[in-house]
Each structure stands twice: as structure tokens, then as C-alpha cells.
Amino acid sequence: MDAFYASVEQRDKPELKGKPVAVGGSRSRGVVAAASYEARKFGVRSAMPSVTAFRRCPDIIFVKPRFEVYKEVSHVIRNIFFEYTDLVEPLSLDEAYLDVTNNKIGLPSATLIAEEIRKKIFESTKLTCSAGISINKFLAKTASDINKPNGLKLIKPDEAVSFIEKLKVKDFFGVGQVTAEKMKRMGIHNGLDLKNKSLGFLSKNFGKSGVYYYNICRGIDDREVNPNRIRKSVSIENTYDNDLSEYEDVLAELQTLSKALEKRLSNNQVKGKTVNIKIKYADFEQVTRSKTSQVWLSKHEDYESLWIEMMKNRQLTEKPIRLLGLGLSNLNTEEKDNQGFQLTLEF
């Protein structure tokens, strides 16, 4: 979806149309969850501190997120996907991989399917989306970003290698800003530069990710579209308008997060064994702590003793705190075997 949260807000609030909008945060606190394309022209991006967004775009309008609305719209979109294939792998509320090789309506063209889906989404939600079409996840994901907003990009099988060789490493899915800068210092600017590096070199300098980089610059990505992706953790966090400076206030906020986490665990029908605390200080330093139980945890009464134990370390609250997060990982989810097969599909 194109600037999903912000686009929903502009759709539902006509006075926001054509204006720079940031979902989440405020002029003085918080983090941008999503930015409209009007705001992006000023360099505003998701995960950016709100104060930075305001500095870059003084006319920006901050609106509170309405996640229940976004979930409802996402449900409508997901149902459209299922009209064409059951092999839908959601990445988030606004993005998914679809394997349409053996599609339900028997269309021989992936491009035609993408066009139909985009049309139906707009008719149902009045929102635009962009699609990437290719032979594997890496190329499809990369293609989906090329003609945004409201665009479509096809990378044919015989175009894949030349496309990747010309692609800047900063535009590779899975290569973040820090890694892109590191590659640049090594003289790696595009896919061809990356391809000229040996597996040993990439593994030595980038660890386990080196194998991934070695494969994708050659167009190799054998990951199947998995409709049964495992949830690895459930968490909740809050950014505060005023920094938390008192130990008792921090504990009180964790109590609130603890109860909200219980509701989220119940909604997702999961339990976990590892309690995780996330703390971001006023100076943006971030720390995490975790503690594991021998039994499954799902009620706030079950896991409160664990985070209370961790918070006995008063050093964690020696500096003012701007954000607190609480979560459970090591969940009781099990991956289901996914059998797949390859057919031929025209692009």
C-alpha cells in the first residue's frame, strides 16, 4: 500500500488531502509511524523522531494513529488477495507476498493479476497500492518500490541479472543504511560490484548476511511464499510526552503495559517464556533486558514477577526515560510444513 496509515487518514479526513501528514508523534515528542508523500518530499520518513520531522517540514500535521481502522482496511485488502491465491504471506498490515503461479481464476499472466488486484483494492478502499512482479521474493519486493506511488513494475526472468547488476546497493532489500555505507567504503556501489566479491569476502565482512548478499546479486532467492509465517514475539511500547524520571513512575507504566500486553497475547492466542523490556532514554540511548521462565506465560500476573526482578536494577532508571516497551518472545508457535511446487507462468 502507498503510505498506508497516512493515506487512510487523508481519505477519512478530506481537510488533510494534499497536505504533509505524519501519523504518530507530535511536534515535540514521539516517532513518526507513517508519512504522506507530501511530507516525504521534505525528507520525512517513518521511524523518524517527530522533532526532526517538524524541523524538516514546519507545516507538517501530526495525527494520532487509529490502528483498529488500519486493521479493518487491511482485512478488506487481504480478502481480495485470497480471491486469487491462498499463498499469501503478510509482512505487515500493508504489505504481502503473493504466489500466483497456480492462481484460483486461471489467469496465465502475473501482470494481469496484479492489475486486477490493484483495481479491486482501489474500488473497495479508495486507496492506491503498488506492485512488484518477478521470479522471486527479492526481485518482487525490490520492483514494488520502483514506481511508487500507484505504480507497477515487472522484472522479467531474462531481465533479472542485468537489472540487479545496475541496482544500487542502497536499494537492495535487506541492505540497510549502515551496511550500504560500509559497502560504499569498500567500493561496492551496485549489484555488479557486489557480484564481483567472493563468498569468502562477503562472509568475512558481513557475517551470515554475506551468503544472502552473494546469492541475491546473482538473482538467487529460493524462499517460498509462506502463508504460515511464525510470529516470533508479541510486544507493546509507549513513547511519553514527558520523560519518566522517577522509579515508581516507571514501574506504574510497566504495570499498564503489562495489562495491555496480556490483551494482545489473548488476541493472538499465544503464550511465551521470555519477557523482554525495552528502554529508550531521553538522549536516545536504548537498552534491552530479558528473562526466561520455565513455564508458559500469558497473564500479566504470570510475567510481572520477571520484569519486576529485572527492574530491581535501579541503574536502568538513572536517566530520564522517553520510551518503554514490554514483550514476550520464545512463543508457543510451531511452523507448519509447507509443500510447494514450481509451474510455468507468463509474465
User: Which fold, 233-331?
Assistant: Dna Ligase; domain 1 (3.30.1490)
Q: What is the CATH number of domain 68-156?
A: 3.30.70.270
pTM of the predicted model as reported, rounded to 2 decimal places: 0.73
Classified as helix, coil or strand, 284 is coil
> Which entry of 15, 95, 262, 318 is annotated as an active-site residue?
95
For the chain, helix, strand, coil in percent to 5 are 40, 20, 35
| Structural domain boundaries in the chain | 4-65, 68-156, 158-216, 233-331
Per-residue pLDDT of 98-143, as tens digits, reads: 999 999 998 889 999 999 999 999 999 999 999 999 999 999 999 9
Residue type, 77: I
pLDDT value, residue 56? 96
| b/e 50-65 (16+ beta carbons within 10 angstroms → b) | beebbebbeebbbbeb
Class of domain 4-65: alpha beta
Pairing, β 272-281 against β 321-331: antiparallel
Q: Which CATH superfamily is domain 158-216 in?
A: 5' to 3' exonuclease, C-terminal subdomain (1.10.150.20)
95 is catalytic: yes
Per-residue pLDDT of 177-225, as tens digits, reads: 889 999 999 999 999 999 999 999 999 999 989 999 999 999 999 999 9
